[in-house]
Every structure is written in structure tokens, then in C-alpha cells.
Amino acid sequence: MSNTTTTTADAKASTGFPSQIKYIVWNEACERYSYYGMRSILVIFLVQYLMMSKADATADYHIFAGACYLFPVLGAYISDRFWGKYKTILWLSLVYCLGHLFLALFEHDKTGFYWGLGLIALGSGGIKPCVSAHVGDQFKPSQKDALKKVFDLFYWMINFGSFFSTMITPWTLEHYGPGIAFGIPGILMAIATFIFWLGRNEFVHIPPTGKQEHGTGRVLLSAIKNFGQRGDQGILGGALKDHPKKDVEAVKAALDVGKIFIAVTIFWALFDQHGSSWVLQAKEMVLDVNFLGWETKLLPSQIPALNPIMVMALIPIFTFGVYPFIEKKLGIAMTPLRRMGAGMFVTSLSFVFVAIFQYLLDGGTPVSVLWQVVPYLVITMAEVMVSITGLEFAYTQAPRSMKSTIMSMWLLTVFFGNMITAYIAKINVFEGGNFFMFFAILMAAFGVVFALIAKNYQVKDFMEDGDVAVNPENELN
């Protein structure tokens, strides 16, 4: 009887979540509602309340979005070297809350408002690389199945918070003004921080690792310092004078993945515009809709709520329908690189649709906002093919010691993508439909670049013990 009881308890422990997970999950739900809520109305606020031009508002929106994906590098550094994950999340969440307070208080003061955006970028970006890692710290080795489920729950919570905040916050701005509209997400962030603090005595706290003697930065510096001394080993050969071969090869694997990320940068330059230039286009469209007898007036910044709903629907459709169909009926293996390459051309197509709508609007032809459902569906398909697949692929291509480096590189693609969009919008060379068509052509061109890089990429499969098996068949051959 005793053995049976023990076995049952072990099975429950391996499939259930640790009790402290509830603090992190609800913290994530409130934080994502807070972030997506304020971001959903940002470009409309800049145009309608701060009287900025569409070009400047689009540029500043993407500078802010990019900063949110630059500060994760700083957050990861602070967490690994000094504070650990719990303290980093807690203290930067307070910075996050302060940023929201600035947005609510300085709705008529551009300087104060932009200080608020900076604080939110620091707080949101700084905690980003720590939260998922902190979740993993709470699980024991015997709970691998439960760990996978909690990340599925995390992704669901992100889309849940995104959908409702994108629907509610624009309505709040319309009826109660920016002070309340920005204040409510701030309150949600304060609640998120409080919930996280409640779990302080239950969390598993992993101490900071401190300096890494053979970390990525040190390997790269050694390679530069000793450049040319070990030419037969490639550009990193000089690092072998100061570091073990295993660590040098790990950095090389990360750099190889970085080449694949070049084209992904352009994907983000297009994708994140569904919260900026697409919203501004919706503002010019017919917002009074009659759909199957249901009459209502939509708000421009509510339209991006289509994305999280479509993501949740399309993931199982692609996983269990589209990919197996292509493999079985067409005989084409849907490897990660093939999915990503196809997704880039799909992304380009979404901007062709948006460009056509803009040409019609510029010519004086009324266009219903319901037509934006088409490009939203297309770009969400691309998100499933590129974004979700890309991170999964990157993780299989580097050893365990480089996982955090790969995550930082992935987040930096989002940063650089948004900087590209901000620059193009700021110089204001392309107007109207030409703006969208430029990005469609740019993405198609980089889709070709991606295919060429991927064709020569040698796929690797890193095992848990650090050994690597090389797949002799290239993914796109």
C-alpha cells in the first residue's frame, strides 16, 4: 500500500505544476494585458492627442517597440551577474509601474510622456528574458511534461491578455481619455508586481552565476585579439589560445544561427506594423460595419485584436493540418527552414494587400475596415511559420551553454527590425500605398536571401550531453 501511494504521488508531482507557478502565471496575464493595452492605443494617441504626423508617430512607435527588445540584453546581464532572476523581475517591474504612472500623468506633456515610454521599455524589456527562465527554475527534472504544459499555458495567457486589452483599452481611450486609458494598464502592472511578490517565499531562487570565464563575449574578444593566429580554424580560431575548443565551437554554432536571423530581422520590420501603420490605415477606412446583421462602429486600434485570436486558431491548423498535408500529398518535408522561408513570402503578400487598400483610399475610394481581415489572416499565418518555428529551430542548433545567447540574438532581430521601420518612416521617402509596397518588395527580396543562406546551412542536432550530430542533408536541398 505504501509503495502504491508513493508511486501515485510521484506521478502527480511529475504532471502537476508546483504551487508557486500560480504567482508567475497570473503575473504574466496582468503584465501582458498592461503592455498590449498601452501599446494598442499608442500610435493613435500620438496622432490625435500629441498632434504628430503619421510618419513621426509610426517612427516613434517602432523606436519604442524596438527598445522593448533591446533592454532584454541588459536584463539578462543584470540577472546573470548580480541580482538573480527574482530580484531582477521584481525591481524592474517597479520601474515598469513608474513608466505607466508617467504616461497617465503626462498625457499633455510630450517630454514626460516619452520618459514614461523609456521606463516601460526598460522594465518590460528587462524582465522579458528572466520570466520564462524563472518558470523553468521552479520545476524538477522529473517534471519535464509539466514544464512543457506551463509554457503552453504561458503562450495562451499572452494571447488572452493581448486580445482583451486590445479590445478594451481603445474603447477606454475613446470614452474616458488618455489618462484613464493609460492608467488602467498601469494598475494591472502594479497588481502583477504584487502577485509576483506574494510568491517570494515559495519560489526556487537560483543565484546569479557571476562572471563567465569562457562566455560568449570573452571568446569573441579573444578571437579578435588573436585574429589570424589560428586561421585554419576559421575566424574564431584565435580564441582557442585562451578558451577550450568546446566553448569556441559553441560560440561558432551561435554565430551560424545568427546568419539565419538576418532575414528574420526584416520579418519583424513588417510584422510589428500591424500595431502602427495598419492602425493608421484603418483610421482612414469605413469603420461602420454590418456583418451578418450585426451593426457596430469599430475603433481603428481594436482591429489588431484579430491577431491573437487568429494565432490561437492557426497553430493547431498548421500543426495538424497544413504541414502534414504538404508532407503527405506533395511529398515536401516541412522542415523549420522551409517553413520560415515560405513564411517570409507570405509576409510579403500581406503587405501587397495593404498596399492595394491604401492605393484605393488615396484615390478616394471608400474601403470597409473589414477588408483588413484578409491581410491580418495572411500575416498571422506568417507569424506561425516564421516566429514560432524560428525560435524552436534556433534552440536545436546550439548547445545548452548558448541557449541564453540565442535568446538574446532572437530578441535583437525584433529590435533591429523595428529600427528599420522607424528609419524608413522617419525619412518619409515613401507615401501612401508606395510605403507598404516598398516593404512587400523588401521582404520578398530578403526571402530570397534567406533561401540562399539556408541552402548552405548545415543542420546540427545538439544533444543534452553537448555532443552534436550533423545532418548531411541541407534543409532546403
pLDDT at 118: 97
Q: Where are the alpha helices (DSSP H) in 106-143?
A: 110-137
All three cell numbers of 163: 486580445
CA distances (Å), origin 455, targets 351, 404, 448, 450 = 26, 26, 11, 8
Over its C-alpha atoms, the chain yields an Rg (Å, rounded) of 23
Kindly give the interhelix angle for 389-396 and 245-271, rounded to the nearest 10 degrees: 170
pLDDT digits (tens, 9 = 90+) for 278-309: 999 999 999 998 766 678 889 999 999 999 99
Spatial separation of the C-alpha atoms in residues 362 and 308, rounded to whole Å: 29
For 336, phi and psi rounded to 5 degrees?
-55, -45
- Unique residue bearing C-alpha cell 525619412: 427
Residues forming a β-bridge with 288: 297
Between these two residues, 256 and 437, which has the higher pLDDT value?
437
pTM of the model: 0.85
343/389 Cα distance (integer angstroms)? 10
Do 199 and 24 contact (CB within 8 A), yes or no?
A: yes
Q: What pLDDT does 466 receive?
A: 45
Domains observed in the chain: 18-204 (1.20.1250.20), 253-477 (1.20.1250.20)
Query: Residue 400: which pLDDT band, with cuts at 50, 70 and 90?
Result: low
Q: Report pLDDT digits (tens) over 209-235.
A: 777 776 777 777 887 887 766 655 567
What's CA 1's distance to the chain center, in Å? 49
CA distance 288 to 150: 40
Give every CB contact of residue 109 below 8 A, 6+ residues apart in sequence.
none
CB-neighbour burial class of residue 74 (10 A; exposed 0-12, middle 13-18, buried 19+): middle
The 10s digit of each residue's pLDDT in 350-387 is 999 999 999 999 999 999 999 999 999 999 999 999 98
Rounded Cα gap, residues 190 and 232, in angstroms: 55
Maximum mean pLDDT: which of 129-138, 325-334, 468-477 = 325-334
> Residues of the chain with pLDDT > 90: what percent?
53
Sign of CA dihedral 419, 423, 424, 426: positive
Residue 290 identity:
N
Evaluate if residue 131 carries a pLDDT over 80: yes
Distance, CA of 308 to CA of 43 (rounded, Å): 19
- If residue 320 lies in a helix (H) or strand (E), which one and from where to where? none
Average pLDDT over residues 381-408: 77
pLDDT at residue number 463: 40
In the block, residue with C-alpha cell 493608421: 280
Nine-digit cell string for 149: 504544459
Residue 37 DSSP SS3: helix
